[in-house]
Amino acid sequence: MNTKKSSECPLCGGAKKPGKTIFSVELGFGVVVVRHVPATVCAQCGADWIDDEVAAHLEQYVDEARRKHSQVEVFSYA
Ligand SMILES: [Zn+2]
């Protein structure tokens, strides 16, 4: 278990800052991409972490893409 401060990137030790990231998931029949997702981003290596509530919201985009069954679905996080 990593006991480092949560404000420190576990990968490189850089500073984690609020930022935006891009979320993508492979569904088998297609791909879902969500842009401008709020996330915590490492200023040094670019690793990102998405909050639980944001991740829950992303599920809705995934569900919508599943319903549409589109090969590529690109959303902007809102
Ligand atoms: Zn890092």
Reported confidence tier of residue 5, pLDDT bands at 50, 70, 90: low
- CA 64 to ligand 1 centroid distance, Å: 32
pLDDT in tens, 15-63: 999 999 999 999 999 999 999 999 999 999 999 999 999 999 999 999 9
| pTM across the whole model | 0.82
32 CA distance to ligand 1 middle (Å): 25
Q: What is the pLDDT of residue 18?
A: 96
What ranges in the chain are assigned the alpha helix state H?
52-68
Q: Inform me whether the pLDDT recorded for 1 exceeds 70.
A: no
> pLDDT tier at 7 (50, 70, 90 boundaries)?
confident
